[in-house]
Amino acid sequence: MTTPLQDDPQTLVSTEWLAAHLKDPDLRIFDASWYLPGSDRDGRAEYDIAHIPGARFFDIDEIADLRSDMPHTVPPVEKFMSRMRAMGVGDGHQVVVYDGSGLFSAARVWWLFRLMGQKNIAVLDGGMPKWIAEGRKITDDKPLIRDRHMTVSRQNQLVRDVTQVARAAKLGDHVIIDARAADRFTGDAPEPREGMRSGHIPGSRNVPYTTLLNADGTMKDADGIRAAFDAAGVDLSKPAITTCGSGVTAAILSLALERIGKTDHSLYDGSWSEWGMYDDLPIATGAA
């Protein structure tokens, strides 16, 4: 039996916590379900059929910078504020975000809120699968929404671009942690996007995001998180940069780091979708 994590409204909360606070007037819930291409699942369609009462749908592909060639990159501040206003999410609200996998795309929204200077946001540990398994209420009703203002203060230290990551890889002054599956990290499995090279950023360490999760999709306790990073040779004395395929599961690493009290971490937004497309950037293959 796994030891349950302590509820923290700024990182991770349990289904029990959410059930107890479900009728709080300042609570806002997001369903941020997103699935990899080829999974034959549609997050918005599933939301329309059933979601946690009061939940709004957060589309990470639309609340993004659509001018970018990379998928679901960070949206301009003005767009983020506009979308939050339209969904009735503003200053003073406690936000809880979940997804249909358990703990997958919700962490990306948690990180995006943190990037925008919002701290009162937590991921629902175990997500929709755990909520349903416990027999908790679901609905297809849409919430009544009233515009609310959100004050945004972008925290630039939480995101890294390709130039910054290339410099960090060259100097070795950061630990770069890759959340992709081991066979993609080593270059033994092809990348899902056509024309993309296989391998990893030189010097990076591989912590597949699944190694941070329990069998039921909840996050491991602090000891389990530290053990996963230790097993991969991650030097937590250095500032961390998280990365993955397209900046989604990297946020699970960021959330795990935050859970163990490591706050000097940033996320490479372009991740391998960007790095793997540039022939002039070095790549490594095989185990780290």
43 with 128, same domain: the answer is: yes
Q: Note the pLDDT of residue 36.
A: 85
144 with 31, same domain: the answer is: yes
Question: How many Cβ atoms sit within 10 Å of the Cβ of residue 239?
Answer: 15
Q: Is the pLDDT of residue 4 over 80?
A: no
Q: Note the pLDDT of residue 5.
A: 58
16 with 148, same domain: the answer is: yes
Q: Report if residue 3 sits inside a domain.
A: no
Nearest to 47 by CA among 114, 124, 139: 139
Please give the share of the chain, as a percent, with pLDDT higher than 70: 98
Domain-terminating residue out of 135, 154, 173: 154
Instruction: Give the span between the Cα atoms of 187 and 178, in whole angstroms.
Output: 13
Q: Note the pLDDT of residue 2.
A: 40
For the stretch 8-28, pLDDT in tens is 999 999 999 999 999 999 999
The CATH number of whichever domain residue 47 belongs to comes to 3.40.250.10
Cα distances (angstroms) measured from residue 285 to each of 170, 185, 189, 195, 232: 16, 7, 11, 17, 16
Query: What residues does 178 pair with on adjacent strands?
Result: 206, 243
Averaged pLDDT of the chain: 95
For the stretch 27-52, pLDDT in tens is 999 999 999 887 889 999 999 999 99
Q: Note the pLDDT of residue 275.
A: 96
Catalytic residue among 128, 150, 244, 248: 244
Domain hosting residue 175, numbered range: 157-275
Q: Note the pLDDT of residue 173.
A: 97
For the stretch 201-238, pLDDT in tens is 999 999 999 999 999 999 999 999 999 999 999 999 99
Q: Note the pLDDT of residue 193.
A: 78
218 is catalytic: no
pLDDT band at 76 (very low <50, low <70, confident <90, very high): very high
For the stretch 117-135, pLDDT in tens is 999 999 999 999 999 999 9
What's the domain count of the chain?
2
Q: For residue 182, give the H/E element and its range.
A: helix 182-186
Instruction: Give the span between the Cα atoms of 140 and 56, in whole angstroms.
Output: 11
